[in-house]
Amino acid sequence: MALTKDEVDFAFRMILGRPPESDAAMEFHLHKFPDVAALRNHLFNTVEFRQSYWHRLAEGDASYAGREMHFAREKLVFLHIPKNAGTSLNRILETLCPETEIFPHQSLISHYPAFFIARHFLFRGHYTLHEIQYIPGPKCIFTLLREPRARILSQYHYHKSSKIGETAINDLPMVHKARLPLREYLLDEEVRRHISVDNMQTRYLFYLSAAAAGRFGVVADDATSPFDRLPRRAVLEIAKENLAGLDYVGTVEGFDQFLTLFCEERGIPVPTDIRRQNVTRELGEVDPKAHSKVSFEHPDEEIHHLLDDLVDLDEELYRFGAGLFKQRYNEHRGLHAQSKGLSLPALMQTAPVEVRRAQAEPSTRPLAPMRKAAAKGLAAKPAAAPGHDKIAAKPNRNKPGSKKTITAKAEQPSRRSTAPAGRASGGSQKSMVEQRR
């Protein structure tokens, strides 16, 4: 897969701390190297990099010696998907290290040079998988998934409670839309096309690597929005493959169990006082300056029909991820859980009470053990041809004035509760203290 100008520019800024010196230099590097890895190897071996880094290290410059340690140290990277209990987990993660070791921005990693990025230990924010690739050195990457209908409803009520004057400019369009009643909100075509509504969790986990681009014949000129151009089954398989490659996967519905798993495997004391943060129902009281109290609209059958198209990919991704999590958690507890007669809490086995869904159907695809090697096995499975997608392209919608606003799909995924099966990939068993040494 050919390089893009953004990738060349980011590589220069990360490694050399500057953009390419001219358009000619940009064009040279754009066509000289086949991928990001080759470009990075080249830049790391340039005279400029050696003069600005390695000779100072050899002379015993303490600040540059520290940089070598920064590059080698493992980083914690939390991929925070909005309205997936990320704020609650962030507050816990922020107690694990000094504030100076927490990357200060929750986006735009690629805008900073590698030296600055590498000195931080904890990264938590609304990062894409593409942007995470710019964090140098070994990484422990993890995320939380949420039942997709509950996530959209939570986002709607969060935006509805937000006060216009206190809202970030990027969120203003959706905050304005949330002034509509729930039915009208879900009928609005701008809302339905918005990336925060239309299968958002799959979008966050969708990253087209060079290998995946080669499999699906996507070239750089066509890659501005491959999510919308690839067959939907292919998009979902790539997202599953990427999810399987993470070190930890959890669910909002099993938040406490995820926290226990993560902390015990990382050698971190499990928090005893877990307080949920940024809970939409409480924001009017907790943060009255930025939020108002709102009444919650409960979904009826029509609302669920309107949600169908918006969660078709996310529902299958959620079932897959929750399955990985459940098997990983059960294996972690092992014989201890069996000897004590313990079982997963009902929260991990049933859907949230505010979301009515049909019973789960058994998965037609066996779930491989979720280790990093398993991701290769998932990647090797060929995607269905565009004409044979089980998850078809979105149907034409009727005009909002009609009684039936959304046409049912021939093979519409049912609204169902998740019965997780699978396991998250192996995380490091080393304690955090050992890692930070």
For the stretch 425-437, pLDDT in tens is 444 444 443 444 4
The alpha helices in 168-224, defined as continuous H runs, are 172-177, 182-187, 189-193, 200-205, 210-216
- pLDDT at residue 160 greater than cutoff 80: yes
Judged by DSSP in three states, 124 sits in: strand
% of the chain exceeding 90 in pLDDT: 33
pLDDT reported for residue 79: 94
Q: Say if CB 394 and CB 388 are below 8 A apart.
A: no
pLDDT tops 60 at residue 84: yes
**392, pLDDT greater than 60:** no
Residues 266-297 pLDDT 10s = 888 888 777 666 666 666 666 776 777 888 88
Q: Cβ(381)–Cβ(366) under 8 Å? A: no
In the structure, what pLDDT confidence band is assigned to residue 61 with cuts at 50, 70 and 90?
very low
| H runs (alpha helix) in 289-370 | 301-339, 346-349
In this structure, are 248 and 339 located in the same domain? yes
Averaged over 99-123, what is the pLDDT?
A: 86
**In terms of domains, do 66 and 165 share one?**
no
**CA gap 176, 164 in Å, rounded:** 8
Which pLDDT score is estimated for 315?
Answer: 96
- Is 301 inside a domain boundary? yes
Task: Tell whether 169 and 34 lie within a shared domain.
Answer: no
List pLDDT tens digits, range 245-266.
999 999 999 999 999 999 999 8
What is the pLDDT, as a whole number, of residue 196?
93
Give the model's confidence band at 408: pLDDT under 50 very low, under 70 low, under 90 confident, else very high. Answer: very low
Residue 111: inside a domain: no
Which has the higher per-residue pLDDT, 108 or 401? 108
Which run of H or of E encompasses 250?
strand 248-251
Does 105 fall in a domain? no
72, 90, 105 - which closes a domain: 72
Backbone angles phi, psi at 227, to 5 degrees: -55, -40
Angle, helices 232-244 vs 372-380, to 10°: value is 160
How far lies 410's CA from each of 318, 407, 414, in Å?
22, 9, 11
Question: Same domain for 274 and 396?
Answer: yes
What pLDDT is attached to residue 180? 94
* pLDDT of 351 over the 50 cut: no
The torsion angles phi and psi of 23, rounded to 5 degrees, stand at -65, -35
The partner residues of 251 in beta bridges, in order of sequence, read: 145
The SS3 call for residue 75 is strand
**What's the whole-number average pLDDT of the chain?**
75
**296 and 384 part of one domain:** yes
Burial per residue of 126-146, b for 16 or more beta-carbon CB atoms within 10 angstroms, e otherwise: ebbbebbbbbbeebbbbbbbb
Task: Give 345's pLDDT tier (boundaries 50, 70, 90).
Answer: very low
Looking at the chain, the whole-number percentage of residues with pLDDT higher than 70 is 67
352, part of any domain: yes
Q: Is the pLDDT of residue 185 over 70?
A: yes
* Rounded-to-integer distance, Cα 248 and Cα 250, Å: 7
pLDDT over 50 at 54, yes or no: yes
Single pTM value for the model: 0.65
Quick check: 423 pLDDT over 80? no
Q: How many domains does the chain have?
A: 2
Decide if 110 is inside a domain: no
Sign of the alpha-carbon dihedral angle for 425, 430, 432, 436: negative
For residue 380, pLDDT over 60 is answered with no
Q: Tell me, what's the pLDDT at 281? A: 66
Rg of the chain's alpha carbons, rounded to an integer? 23
Q: Report the C-alpha gap between 112 and 183 in whole angstroms.
A: 42
Least confident range from 93-107, 142-156, 348-362, 369-383: namely 348-362
Domain limits at 285? 144-436
Segment 65-94 mean pLDDT: 83
Last residue of a domain, one of 10, 42, 72: 72
Burial of 289 (0-12, 13-18, 19+ CB in 10 A): exposed
Check whether 393 has a pLDDT greater than 80: no
What is the pLDDT confidence band of residue 212, given thresholds at 50, 70 and 90? confident
Q: What is the mean pLDDT of residues 407-417?
A: 41
Residue 97 lies in a domain: no
Residues 16 and 163 in one domain: no
pLDDT surpasses 90 at 123: yes
Report, as an integer, the average pLDDT of 198-206. 94
Among 72, 102, 119, the domain boundary falls at: 72
> Which amino acid makes up residue 325?
F
Instruction: Identify the pLDDT of residue 145.
Output: 97
The CA distance from 239 to 242, in Å, is: 5
Distance CA 327, CA 221 (A): 40
Q: Which residues contact 299 (CB under 8 A, 6 or more apart)?
A: 149, 153, 182, 307, 354, 355, 356
The answer to whether 425 and 246 are in contact (CB under 8 A) is yes
Does 290 map to a domain?
A: yes
| Lowest-pLDDT choice from 122-136, 158-172, 285-299, 326-340 | 326-340
7-25 pLDDT per residue, tens: 888 888 878 878 899 999 9
359: closest CA among 419, 307, 312? 419
Q: What is the pLDDT of residue 425?
A: 42
In this structure, how many other beta carbons lie within 10 angstroms of the beta carbon of residue 395?
14
pLDDT tens string 296-308: 888 899 999 999 9
Residue 286 has a pLDDT of 66
Same domain, 347 and 235: yes
C-alpha 311/C-alpha 197 separation (Å) is: 8
Do the domain assignments include residue 102? no
pLDDT of 311 higher than 90? yes
What's the confidence (pLDDT) of residue 139? 93
